[in-house]
Copies of this chain bind each other. A is one copy, B any other.
Amino acid sequence: MEKFKRNERVAGLIKILSDNPNNLFSLNYFSELFTAAKSTISEDIAAAKKIVEQISLGQIETISGAAGGVKYRPYVENGDAIGFLDELCEKLRDPKRIIPGNYIYMSDVIYDPRVSAKVGEIFATHFMNSGVEYVVTIETKGITLANMTARALNVPLVILRRENRVTEGSTVSINYVSGSTKRIQTMFVSKRAIPEGKKVLIIDDFMKAGGTAKGILDLMKEIKAEVCGIGVLMKTIEPKEKMVQDYISLLEVGEVDEHKGLINIYKDMLFS
């Protein structure tokens, strides 16, 4: 007698797969967990696939062969991303967010786990086929977004430091010029963090002139990592010419004016 009913197995399967995005599970794993025949599990997977796709909650992919199995890929459809980003803009447009100096207070938003999880899935969807092996960010404000992107892609996260810390062991550093403030700054990566030749995706919260992103690119070159993408939550419209090409941003911000109580923030082209 089988221990679980079909609906129970399908539900359990979906729970385990979606808790472990981009993690390959063998059919054997589920066959043992549910004490069911592999042919039964195959049918369960087909049912799981159907429901996940029908209610637009990602994709279940089966890989055949000896090293095969089944995995779940978070997949945010364009319409879903647009709705989410519209809401985000709405929230960020609140004039109470303006900080003297015409900055926008947005820590509460980017640290909100529901926001960072969704942003992470949007980045993961975009860079799904880029062969990302590591997600890289620099402390501090991009960490929650990078963390959730790494989770969705099931790859390790690396956090670059702005100061040399004893707990990082031996480090490689570069000096770079912040594009907006023109000040010389330093960033550090642990020599243990990324082996040579690995493909990395750079994630950050904000890009103005792109000096920080350029710094990370240069540091990655130093340690012989290959950058396969750059994603930022928000870029400024000015300056138009950034110090890096080939990046995506989800939002763009134009004029911020404390006096007029104005924050011009929109979805970027990718989702317009």
Q: Which A residues contact B (CB, under 8 angstroms)? A: 4, 6-8, 10-16, 18-20, 33, 47-48, 50-52, 54-55, 57, 99-101, 103-108, 111-114, 116-117, 139-141, 143-144, 147-148, 150-151, 154-159, 161, 166-169, 190, 192-193
Contact = CB atoms under 8 A, between A and B. Distances in A.
30 contacts: A7-B7, A8-B10, A11-B11, A11-B14, A12-B55, A14-B15, A15-B55, A15-B57, A16-B57, A18-B19, A19-B57, A99-B166, A99-B167, A100-B169, A105-B167, A107-B167, A107-B193, A108-B193, A111-B147, A111-B157, A113-B150, A113-B151, A114-B154, A139-B139, A140-B140, A140-B143, A140-B159, A140-B161, A143-B143, A144-B147
Given A108-B193, A147-B143, A166-B99, A51 B156 contact: no
Contact of A18 (B6, B8, B15, B101): B15
Given A190-B107, A193-B107, A7 B18 contact: no
Contacts of A169: 99-100, 103, 105
Contacts of A161: 140
A192 B169 CA distance: 36
A5 to B, nearest CB: 8
Contacts of A15: 14-15, 18, 51-52, 55, 57
